[in-house]
Structure 1
Amino acid sequence: MSKFSAEVLELLPQKPPFLFVDKVIERGEGVITTSLTLTGEEDFFMGHFPGNPIMPGVLLQEASFQSGALLMASLSGKGLGVVTKVSNAKFKNFVKPGDELIMQVSLVDQVSNAYYMKAKSTVNGKVVMAIEFSCALIEE
């Protein structure tokens, strides 16, 4: 049985092993909260870093981008979200095996097919990353 919810598998074009959202926790007006539970068996932990494994920052960003894609899917219905800009990324704590990463992504603005978002990721209530990014919705 997959650890990924049917909704995530259906709505995101990414698939394991490049899927960094397990489930949608909550949806609101222009906001989505998702989670990823890290087992420690993920391949990236083997090399980043042996003896002191932490989730790479670029994958923390990807988890937020995928959460943003789920938000875009709930707002637009279809299409492929492509990241066009990343800014103000701040890394504040580490994400380790066994952690549950919670991502909250908010829509700041939408102009035509451009979505401007901000995200905050936490573990045990502590912020591990904050980022702003934009995506273009490409018709498939």
Structure 2
Amino acid sequence: MTSQDIISKLPYSKPFLFVDEIISISENGVEGTYYFDKDLDFYKGHFISNPVTPGIILTEVMAQIGLVCLGIYILNKEFNIATSIALTSIEIDFLKPVYPNENVTVISEKIYFRFGKLKCKVSMKNQLGIEVCSGTIAGIIV
């Protein structure tokens, strides 16, 4: 399964697809990127003079790359099924703001996959390599 195959199986589309590229993926983790274009709708009203990416959007990027893409890969590899993972829990620390026109990289490491539940340690770094948020995200097979 290629990176494009995985992205095509995501249950999202623009404007709610937050995965541009999967750099690497294995049964133990995934690394991918997303670019925050300045014209995204949520910037229009989030801190009018100085737009910042909302934390819930950062969380969604981390979940789509770090949990759902990895889940699709694992389910296809281990069980040869094409299904998805739904979010069940998050615990994220926000360390730095992410501004319009920034590219971020999400790195996810599998903590466990058992009984249909996937839990990952996920971090996001900005284009300077500085960690902007990190935590754990979990989901179940749907």
TM-score by length of 2: 0.88
Q: Could you tell me whether the CA contact under 8 Å between 1:8 and 1:21 is conserved in 2?
A: no
Q: CA deviation at 1:62?
A: 0.5
Q: 1:31 aligns with which of 16, 29, 34?
A: 29
Q: Could you tell me whether the CA contact under 8 Å between 2:7 and 2:69 is conserved in 1?
A: no
Poorly superposed stretches of 4+, deviation over 2 Å: 5-9
Matches within 5 A, 1:53-68: 53-67=51-65, 68=67
Matched residue type, 1:61: T
Question: Unpaired segments of 5 or more residues in structure 2?
Answer: 77-81
Q: How much identity, in percent, do the aligned residues show?
A: 23
Question: Unpaired segments of 5 or more residues in structure 1?
Answer: none
1:101-140: per-residue Cα shift (whole Å, max 9, x none)? 11011110111210111100000200101020110011xx
Q: 1:100 aligns with which of 99, 103, 128?
A: 103
Q: Which moved more, 1:5-14 or 1:107-116?
A: 5-14
> What is residue 72 of structure 1 aligned with on the other side?
71
Matched residue type, 1:103: V
Matched residue type, 1:110: F
Matched residue type, 2:107: Q
Matches within 5 A, 1:1-140: 6-7=4-5, 9-67=7-65, 68-77=67-76, 78-87=82-91, 89-123=92-126, 124-138=128-142
Task: Provide the C-alpha distance between the structure 2 equivalents of 1:29 and 1:61, rounded to a whole number of angstroms.
Answer: 22
Distance 1:8 1:55, change over 3 A: farther
Task: Provide the C-alpha distance between the structure 2 equivalents of 1:97 and 1:8, rounded to a whole number of angstroms.
Answer: 26
> How many residues align structurally?
133
Task: Provide the C-alpha distance between the structure 1 equivalents of 2:45 and 2:5, rounded to a whole number of angstroms.
Answer: 31
Matched residue type, 2:100: P
Q: CA deviation at 1:25?
A: 1.2
